[in-house]
Amino acid sequence: MRPSGAPVMVRIWRNAVTPRRRRLVRHEPSATSPVRPEPMRIFFAIPLPEPALDAVAEALAPIRNGALPSGSRAIGWTRRNHLHLTLRFLGEVEEARIEAVGDAVAPWVRRLPPPRVRLVGGGVFPDARHPKVLWIGAEAALGPVVSAMEGALSRLGFAPEGRAFIPHLTVGRVRDGRVDRVLDALRDLGEVTTFSPESVVLYESRPAPEGVRYVALRTFRVE
């Protein structure tokens, strides 16, 4: 009897009609198989603690309920459990490299003092004429953290980030239509909340029926 949790053999032999003839039965890897031939889309981010998530929801409620017509689908709002401050997006990385990526970054995250993050104001990427991403601004001394991460990742062969680091919290994506009132309301946002990061998480972005799902691969506590 195979112990519970033991790996399933990919190839097994079974007796056929007579003991002299055997046929090879192939078993495809199951959905839970550790084999991942396709690359994984990964990124490092700071998750928001529950009080900060509550504050963001409270700040966005009047915008979501009052700046758009009832039932409008012009904006896809970020789900609560997807809110985070991205530090570095790495894109598609082979599974065999994931452990090395985490090990390279971990010491730098733990040594650096946790910055105080202030969520304040809002805006849009790339610009108001072509709005795609809605965000709340993040004021924090995250530069040293990001620079240390870049140095560690470059030693693993990752090219430097091709754009300036702008700390922000993505709160929605524009699907279609005019969203001028939403943009105006975001710009008028005052301070939403402040918090101290408790950890940095290495996430995987996986396709899901609802669009995408973020899975925490490793968590690095800020000491």
CATH number at residue 120: 3.90.1140.10
pLDDT tens string 103-141: 999 988 877 666 799 999 999 999 888 899 999 999 998
Query: In the structure encoding, which two tokens stand for residue 97, read together?
Result: 């490299």
Question: Is there a domain that residue 44 lies in?
Answer: yes
Question: Is there a domain that residue 21 lies in?
Answer: no
143-152 average pLDDT score: 90
Confidence bin at 100 (pLDDT 50/70/90) = very high
Plot region of 129 (φ>0 → left; ψ -120 to 50 → alpha; else → beta): alpha
Question: Is there a domain that residue 137 lies in?
Answer: yes
| pLDDT for position 117 | 95
Confidence bin at 172 (pLDDT 50/70/90) = very high
- How many domains are there within the chain? 1
Range of the domain at 126: 35-221
Closest by Cα among 135, 132, 134, 210 to 177 = 132
Q: Percent of the chain beyond pLDDT 70?
A: 82
Residue 57 CA to its chain's centroid (Å): 19
Give Dmax over CA atoms of the chain in angstroms. Answer: 81
Q: Are 192 and 136 in contact (CB under 8 A)?
A: yes
Question: Is there a domain that residue 14 lies in?
Answer: no
Query: In the structure encoding, which two tokens stand for residue 89, read together?
Result: 């997006």
165-187 average pLDDT score: 90
Cα separation of 40 and 102, whole Å? Answer: 14
Confidence bin at 93 (pLDDT 50/70/90) = very high
Residues 6 or more apart whose Cβ sits within 8 Å of residue 153: 88, 90, 101, 104, 105
- pLDDT of 30 > 80? The answer is no
Question: Is there a domain that residue 187 lies in?
Answer: yes
Q: Find tokens 């202030």 and name the residue.
A: 118
Return the C-alpha torsion angle 213, 214, 215, 219, nearest 10. -170
- pLDDT of 82 > 60? The answer is yes
Question: Is there a domain that residue 183 lies in?
Answer: yes
Query: In the structure encoding, which two tokens stand for residue 62, read together?
Result: 């009047």
Question: Is there a domain that residue 184 lies in?
Answer: yes
Q: Find tokens 């899975």 and name the residue.
A: 215
| pLDDT for position 34 | 55
Question: Is there a domain that residue 210 lies in?
Answer: yes
Query: What value does the CA radius of gyration of the chain take, rounded to a whole number of Å?
Result: 23
35-59 average pLDDT score: 91
42-66 average pLDDT score: 95
Burial of 186 (0-12, 13-18, 19+ CB in 10 A): buried
pTM, two decimals, is 0.79
